[in-house]
């Protein structure tokens, strides 16, 4: 009954959101100067973020992705969105009820970023760029992706295979036409260029997408070889990474609500469209399914490993040796004191920096360590809340210490601790939604990708809301079924 | 059967200091003996009992059980505990099992008795302790006295040679003490070896074959109930045996707030505490009538309620300071207070005159 109610409310909320179109007044902006006094939105950490937040009289809203920026303007949370002007197709803008008000004055170079001190890939890449610039194919490349010009002929593979080791390439932007998913693979202005380079250079290419903050760390800690996504070489960035020569020059665009009333299709049509765009087109549902499997795998493995570790941790907490107890208490204080995300980043970029392990492995280890502390504490406090007299009664009847624990104390502790344990499991499930930061494509990351691909915010969010809810419900059901009755 | 030699136990306190509870306990216990361990609180009675089955491992000495030193390193304690049952002050029933499951638990798990047979035996035992109707109840549904009887059945279920009773009635309401004691009385007549730490003197005297009087960490005096209760040899034993519980109420000009009804409440509390509820009503009535009516003119009055446990005598007396003759006059109608008491005694003392009612 409760479940039905929850679903009902979720559905109602989603419908309300889907039907709500940007109805804020149209804002008159003709040049960059008109931005003064306006509320503008930028992508956090982007070049424009730095540039405009230094300007006086600008009220700045920072969002994580381009899709969020569009949404913020559409919903009237901000007046204008400043971002690279090439970022959105006319179709996308129409669909969102937005338009480009004007372009910025300055032109910015875009470049690929390499780790500091890279003396292999960077020179080669610059040489490749120079070649392309010289024979005009660099301009043709841009013309193809930005203006829809003819496609370049396929890059010839280098006859010499330098290595089977792939070039680990991170993209920090996931929008057309720069970097986007097509037919299940990444492509776009940047990705295609890098792919051509890899072929020319003679190494395979491995593309993954991560938020820009993690990408910077990955590059610095040697977890990646190169990154891009409309990156401007700023002074600050140069302190941490080395930039290639520019491969493209780009202007900022200022996007506002178009004021044109979007032709309102019937609600059902819109929901159907939105659903089609988000899940059916280009087989995007595969992303959600893959993410779902990843989330389930990480959660279950972490619970399993974490529970095993938690039993050991519990033994330490209950130990008669003072130093063991001290260690355990310190560990638990540490685990409770730092955010999971920070621990995850530290594990990936520091602890396992040089080890050749996948992000999902690190995620499982991190969450297991985390879960060991919370589950172990639950186990220990449940055992301690069984009165001392129960142990004595067991001993007095002739049971060994283990027998007393197994038959007398454990069944009672289980009753006390099972509820909190299940809660911790559910928390863990929800907590795994941050693994996108270390390039693991879980459920949340899948919905982020969908949103940046389609600019359909609500369908993917609604979908993962429902999926997480069902997962939590299933997990609880499963654990309750698995609970020993005696 | 059990030989105890120079047993000692010292606890180390959290602050590093240590407390010696048992200094040097020696005794020998034969089969079929029913031994009550009595003595002032804090003299190690419970510690001694719990040392016997090693729940409280002693720090020195030896315990021999059936020719084996159970304090020897590596001795499997389970082996001894299977033959030595224990009944705790706080019952320690297993709350997650029904009454019947509590009773068959050890026979099935430890002694490998087939469950059907164990159930049959358990039902008999429950019948014996008067709880055949509660086999499928959970301990939380039972009263204190019922819980303790289940605990006794649980201890009996493994056919132990000895049962240790650690203050089995101390956690019970006075009204429930009797039901537990009568079960134990019955066991004592059946030849089971029993060691009982108790404060129930009358019970100890009636049931025991031997009494250990413990004081200052040793068995201070050891003898038959008659020896210990009637002719104690040592002065500490004597003082303990003859000790009397008392409650005093002072009524004088310096205590103008005296409340006779509160006195009644106190009297009831006293009688409940020492398991003489039969005296509560008469004592209250006599006290009220005397203080508010017959002795009203005297403003320097001490009312005292006493109870001697061993002799089982309760007395209520009224002391009028500095008076040399009886305050009772022929005009007074004393028929009601006389009928409420067994005996009325008037006696002059050095302090003043005392009027005493034996209840």
B171 touches chain A (CB under 8 A): no
Which of A359, A343, A111 lies closest to A218, judged by CA?
A: A359
pLDDT tens track for A54-98: 777 778 888 877 778 888 888 788 888 888 888 777 777 877 788
* Closest chain A residue to B78, measured at CA: A398
pLDDT, residue A15, reads 47
Shortest distance, CA B82 to any CA of chain A (angstroms)? 5
Question: Is the CB of A398 less than 8 angstroms away from the CB of B81?
Answer: yes
C-alpha–C-alpha distance, residues B131 and A455, integer Å: 73
Residue B132 has pLDDT above 50, yes or no: yes
B72 inside 8 A of chain A by CB: no
Going from N- to C-terminal start, the domains of chain A cover 108-252, 285-482
Q: Which two tokens stand for residue A376?
A: 């172990």
- Which of A28-32, A130-134, B294-298 has maximum average pLDDT? A130-134
* A485 to chain B: closest CA residue: B96
In the sheet that A205-209 helps form, which strands lie side by side, from edge to edge? A205-209, A167-171, A226-228, A113-115, A241-243
Number of CB pairs < 8 Å for A and B? 54
Provide the token pair at B210: 């031997």
Higher pLDDT, A335 or A450: A335
Q: Which of B271, B280, B354 is nearest to B317 (CA)?
A: B354
| Residue B105 banded pLDDT, cuts 50, 70, 90 | very high
Q: Residue A343 has which token pair? A: 């621990």
Partners of residue A62 on adjacent β-strands? A42
The H or E element spanning position A100 is strand A98-103
Phi, psi of B347 (to 5 degrees): -145, 135
Residue with the bigger pLDDT between A6 and A123: it is: A123
Q: Tell me the percentage of chain A whose pLDDT exceeds 70.
A: 93
ipTM over 0.90: no
Whether B253 shows a pLDDT value over 70: the answer reads no
Mark yes or no for CB contact B85/A396 under 8 Å. yes
Q: How far is residue A421's CA from residue A478's CA, in Å, rounded to a whole number?
A: 13
| Mean pLDDT for the stretch of residues A342-363 | 86
Look at residue A485 in the predicted model and tell me its pLDDT: 62
Distances (CA, A) of B81 to A73, B54, B76, B190: 78, 9, 9, 21
CA torsion, points A119, A120, A126, A130, in degrees to nearest 10? 130
**Shortest CA distance from A486: residue in chain B:** B96
Judge whether residue A8 has pLDDT over 80.
Answer: no
pLDDT value of position A278:
78
Is B173 a residue whose pLDDT tops 80? Answer: yes
pLDDT for res A22: 47
pLDDT of residue A21 exceeding 50: no
Chain B CB contacts of A396 under 8 Å are 53, 55, 81, 85-86, 88
pLDDT over 90 for what percent of chain A? 37
Of B253, B250, B215, the closest CA to residue B232 belongs to B215
Please give the CATH superfamily to which domain A108-252 belongs: Periplasmic binding protein-like II (3.40.190.10)
CA torsion sign, B316 to B319 to B320 to B326? positive
pLDDT at residue A269 tops 60? yes
Kindly state whether B346 is in contact with chain A, defined as any CB-CB distance less than 8 angstroms: no
Q: Which residue has the tokens 């959600």?
A: A288
Residue of B nearest to A387 (CA): B92
Average pLDDT in the A42-62 region? 77
The predicted pLDDT at position A102 comes to 85
Structure tokens at A129: 């760029």
Least confident of A15-24, A53-62, A214-223: A15-24
Which pLDDT belongs to residue A130?
Answer: 92
SS (H, E, C) chain B: CEEEEEEEEEEECCCCCEEEEEEEEEEEECCCCEEEEECCCCCCHHHHHHHHCCCCCCCEEEEEECCEECCCCCCCHHHHHCCEEEECCCCCCCCCCCHHHHHHHHHHHCCCCCHHHHHHHHHHHHHHCCCHHHCCCCHHHCCHHHHHHHHHHHHHCCCCCEEEEECCCCCCCHHHHHHHHHHHHHHHCCCCEEEEECCCHHHHHHHCCEEEEEECCEEEEEECHHHHHHCCCCHHHHHHHCCEEEEEEEECCCCCCCCHHHHHHHHHHHHHHCCCHHHHHHHHHHHHHHHHHHCCCCCCEEEEEEEECCCCEEEEEEEEECCCCCCCCCCCCCHHHHHHCCEEEEEECCCEEEEEEEC
pLDDT bracket for residue A257 (50, 70, 90) = confident
B154 at interface of A, judged by CB pairs closer than 8 A: yes
For residue A300, is pLDDT > 80? yes
Residue A11 confidence (pLDDT) above 60: no
Identical fold for domains A108-252 and A285-482, yes or no, is: no
Read off the pLDDT of each residue in B170-183 and give the average, rounded to a whole number.
Answer: 87
φ/ψ of B153, rounded to 5, equals: -60, -40
Q: Give the residue on A whose Cα is nearest the Cα of B77.
A: A398
Q: Which of A191-205, A224-238, A306-320, B201-215 has the lowest mean pLDDT?
A: A224-238
Q: Which residues of B touch A417 (CB under 8 A)?
A: none
Mean pLDDT of B318-323: 88
Q: Is B165 exposed, middle or buried (0-12, 13-18, 19+ CB in 10 A)?
A: buried
3-state secondary structure at position A108: strand
pLDDT number for residue A10: 47
d(CA A94, CA B309): 99
H or E segment at A67? helix A66-74
CATH classification (class only), A285-482: mainly alpha
Which of A389, A400, A411 is facing B92, going by the closest CB pair?
A389
Q: State how far the Cα of A403 lies from the Cα of B318, in Å rounded to an integer.
A: 61
Give the distance from residue B328's alpha carbon to the nearest chain A alpha carbon, in angstroms.
57
Which whole number is the average pLDDT over B173-200? Answer: 89
Instruction: From chain A, pick out residues whose CB is under 8 angstroms from the CB of B106.
Output: 397-399
Q: What is the pLDDT of residues B201-215, one digit of tens each?
A: 888 988 899 999 999
Could you give the 3-state DSSP secondary structure of residue A376? helix
Average pLDDT for chain A: 84
Q: State residue B176's pLDDT score.
A: 86
The pLDDT of residue A24 is 58
Task: Indicate whether A45 pLDDT > 80.
Answer: no
- The answer to whether B106 contacts A397, with C-beta atoms less than 8 Å apart, is yes
CA distance A197 to A204: 10
Say yes or no for a CB contact (<8 Å) between B110 and A393: no
> Is B92 part of the contact surface with chain A (CB cutoff 8 Å)?
yes
Say whether the peptide bond before residue A163 is cis (omega within 30 degrees of 0): no
Task: Give the mean model confidence (pLDDT) for residues B126-144.
Answer: 92
A254 has a pLDDT exceeding 70 = yes
Tell me what the mean pLDDT of segment A312-325 comes to. Answer: 92
- Whether residue B199 lies within 8 A of chain A, CB to CB, comes out as no
Does the pLDDT of residue A255 top 60, yes or no?
Answer: yes
Dist CA A303 CA B17 (whole Å) = 45
- Kindly tell me if the per-residue pLDDT of B277 is higher than 90: no
Q: Which chain A residues touch B if contact means CB-CB below 8 Å? A: 387, 389-390, 392-393, 395-400, 403, 407-408, 411-412, 415
The pLDDT value given to residue B255: 65
Distance from CA of A295 to the nearest CA of B (A): 37
A256-270, B174-188, B191-205: which has the minimum mean pLDDT?
A: A256-270
Q: How many CB atoms lie within 10 A of CB A412?
A: 19
- Residues B266 and B270: their CA atoms lie apart, in Å, by 6
B9, β-bridge pairs: B22
pLDDT at A13: 46
* Alpha-carbon gap: A467 to the closest alpha carbon of chain B (Å): 38
Q: Look at B94 and A408 and tell me if their CB atoms are within 8 Å.
A: yes
B55 CB within 8 Å of a chain A CB = yes
Q: What is the pLDDT confidence band of residue A226, given thresholds at 50, 70 and 90?
A: very high
Q: Give yes or no for B122 touching A (CB within 8 A).
A: no
pLDDT value of position A65: 76
Sequence-ordered list of residues with C-beta below 8 angstroms from that of B187, at least 6 positions apart, any chain: B152, B156, B163, B194
CA distance B357 to B318: 9
* Reported confidence tier of residue A261, pLDDT bands at 50, 70, 90: low
Beta strands A98-103 and A241-243, pairing class: unpaired
Residue whose entry in the numeric block shows the structure tokens 């000895």 = B162
Say what the pLDDT of residue A264 is: 64
Give yes or no for a contact between A416 and A408, defined as CB atoms under 8 angstroms apart: no
Q: What is the pLDDT of residue A12?
A: 47
Q: What mean pLDDT value characterizes chain B? A: 89
Can you tell me the distance from the alpha carbon of B142 to that of B135, in angstroms, rounded to the nearest whole number? 11
Instruction: Return the axis-axis angle of helices A285-317 and A359-384, rounded to nearest 10°.
Output: 40
pLDDT category of residue A330 using cuts at 50, 70 and 90: very high
Q: Does B358 touch chain A (CB under 8 A)?
A: no
Has residue B247 got a pLDDT over 80?
A: yes
Mutate to test the interface with B, among A320, A382, A392, A398 (most CBs of B within 10 A): A398
Q: Does the distance separating the beta carbons of A400 and B154 come in below 8 Å?
A: no
| Distance separating alpha carbons of residues B241 and B204, to the nearest angstrom | 12
Looking at per-residue pLDDT, the higher value among A311 and A285 belongs to: A311
Is there a contact between B109 and A390 if contact means CB atoms under 8 Å apart?
Answer: no
From B78, B92, B105, residue closest to A400, measured CB to CB: B78
Q: Of A395, A407, A408, which is closest to B81 when you measure between CB atoms?
A: A395
Q: Which residue has the higher pLDDT, B252 or B305?
A: B305
CB pair distance less than 8 Å for B94 and A392: no
Contact, A456 vs A274, CB < 8 A?
yes
DSSP codes of every residue in A153-214: PPPPPPSS---SSPEEEEES---TTTSEEETTEEESHHHHHHHHHHHHHT--EEEEE--HHH
């Amino acid at each position: 009954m409760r479940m039905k109610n929850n679903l009902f409310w979720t559905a109602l909320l989603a419908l309300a959101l889907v039907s709500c179109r940007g109805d804020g007044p149209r804002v008159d902006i003709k040049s960059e100067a008109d931005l003064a006094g306006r509320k503008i939105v930028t992508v956090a950490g982007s070049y424009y973020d730095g540039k405009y937040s230094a300007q006086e009289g600008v009220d700045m809203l920072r969002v994580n992705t381009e899709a969020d920026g569009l949404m913020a303007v559409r919903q009237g949370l901000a007046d204008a969105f400043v971002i690279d002007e090439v970022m959105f197709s006319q179709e996308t803008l129409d669909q969102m009820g937005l338009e480009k008000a004007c372009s910025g004055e300055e032109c910015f170079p875009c470049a690929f970023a390499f780790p500091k001190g890279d003396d292999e890939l960077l020179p080669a890449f610059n040489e490749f760029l120079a070649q392309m610039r010289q024979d005009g194919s660099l301009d043709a490349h841009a013309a193809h992706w930005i203006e829809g010009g003819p496609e370049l002929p396929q890059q010839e593979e280098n006859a010499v295979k330098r290595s089977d080791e792939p070039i680990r390439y991170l993209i920090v932007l996931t929008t057309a036409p720069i970097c986007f998913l097509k037919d299940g693979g990444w492509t776009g202005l940047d990705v295609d260029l890098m792919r051509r380079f890899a072929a020319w250079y003679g190494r395979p290419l491995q593309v993954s997408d991560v938020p820009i903050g993690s990408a910077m760390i990955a590059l610095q800690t040697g977890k990646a070889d190169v990154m891009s996504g409309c990156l401007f070489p700023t002074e600050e960035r140069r302190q941490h990474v080395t930039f290639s020569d520019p491969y493209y020059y780009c202007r900022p665009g200022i996007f506002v609500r178009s004021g044109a009333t979007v032709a309102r299709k019937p609600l059902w049509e819109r929901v159907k469209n939105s659903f089609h765009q988000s899940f059916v087109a280009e087989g995007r549902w595969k992303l959600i399914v893959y993410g779902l499997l990843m989330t389930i795998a990480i959660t279950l493995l972490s619970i399993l490993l974490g529970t095993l570790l938690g039993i050991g941790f519990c033994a330490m907490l209950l130990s008669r040796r003072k130093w063991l107890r001290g260690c355990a208490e310190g560990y638990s204080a540490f685990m409770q004191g730092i955010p999971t995300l920070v621990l995850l980043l530290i594990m990936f970029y520091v602890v396992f920096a040089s080890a050749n392990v996948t992000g999902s492995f690190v995620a499982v280890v991190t969450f297991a360590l985390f879960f060991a502390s919370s589950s172990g504490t639950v186990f220990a406090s449940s055992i301690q809340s069984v009165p001392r007299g129960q142990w004595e009664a067991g001993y007095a009847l002739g049971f060994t210490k283990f027998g007393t624990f197994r038959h007398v104390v454990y069944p009672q502790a289980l009753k006390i601790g099972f509820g909190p344990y299940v809660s911790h499991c559910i928390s863990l499930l929800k907590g795994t939604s941050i693994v996108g930061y270390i390039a693991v494509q879980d459920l949340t990351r899948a919905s982020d990708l969908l949103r940046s691909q389609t600019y359909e915010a609500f369908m993917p969010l609604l979908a993962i809301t429902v999926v997480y809810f069902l997962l939590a419900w299933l997990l609880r059901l499963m654990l309750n079924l698995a609970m020993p009755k005696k | 059967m059990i030989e105890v030699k120079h047993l000692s136990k010292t606890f180390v306190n959290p602050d590093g200091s240590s407390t010696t509870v048992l200094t040097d306990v020696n005794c020998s216990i034969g089969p079929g003996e029913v031994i009550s361990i009595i003595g002032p609180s804090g003299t190690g009675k419970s510690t001694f009992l719990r040392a016997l089955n090693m729940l409280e491992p002693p720090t020195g000495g030896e315990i021999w059980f059936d020719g084996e030193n159970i304090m020897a390193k590596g001795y499997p304690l389970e082996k001894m505990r299977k033959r030595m049952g224990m009944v705790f002050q706080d019952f320690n029933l297993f709350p997650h099992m029904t009454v019947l499951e509590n009773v068959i638990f050890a026979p099935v798990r430890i002694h490998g008795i087939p469950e059907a047979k164990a159930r049959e035996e358990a039902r008999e035992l429950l019948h014996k302790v008067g709880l055949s109707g509660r086999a499928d109840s959970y301990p939380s549904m039972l009263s204190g006295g019922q819980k303790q009887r289940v605990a006794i059945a649980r201890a009996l279920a493994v056919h132990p040679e000895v049962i240790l009773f650690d203050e089995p009635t101390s956690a019970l309401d006075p009204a429930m003490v009797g039901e537990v004691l009568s079960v134990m009385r019955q066991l004592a007549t059946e030849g089971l070896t029993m060691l009982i730490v108790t404060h129930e003197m009358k019970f100890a005297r009636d049931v025991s074959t031997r009494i250990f009087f413990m004081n200052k960490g040793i068995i201070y005096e050891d003898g038959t109930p008659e020896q210990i209760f009637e002719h104690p040899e040592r002065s500490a034993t004597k003082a303990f045996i003859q000790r009397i519980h008392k409650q005093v109420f002072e009524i004088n000009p310096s205590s103008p707030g005296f409340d006779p009804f509160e006195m009644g409440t106190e009297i009831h509390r006293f009688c409940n505490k020492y398991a003489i509820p039969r005296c509560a009503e008469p004592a209250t009535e006599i006290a009220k009538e005397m203080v508010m009516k017959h002795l009203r003119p005297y403003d320097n009055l001490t009312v005292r309620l006493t109870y001697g446990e061993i002799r089982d005598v309760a007395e209520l007396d009224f002391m009028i300071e500095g008076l040399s003759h009886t305050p009772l006059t022929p005009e007074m109608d004393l028929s009601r207070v006389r009928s409420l008491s067994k005996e009325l005694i008037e006696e002059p003392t050095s302090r003043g005159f005392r009027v005493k009612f034996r209840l």
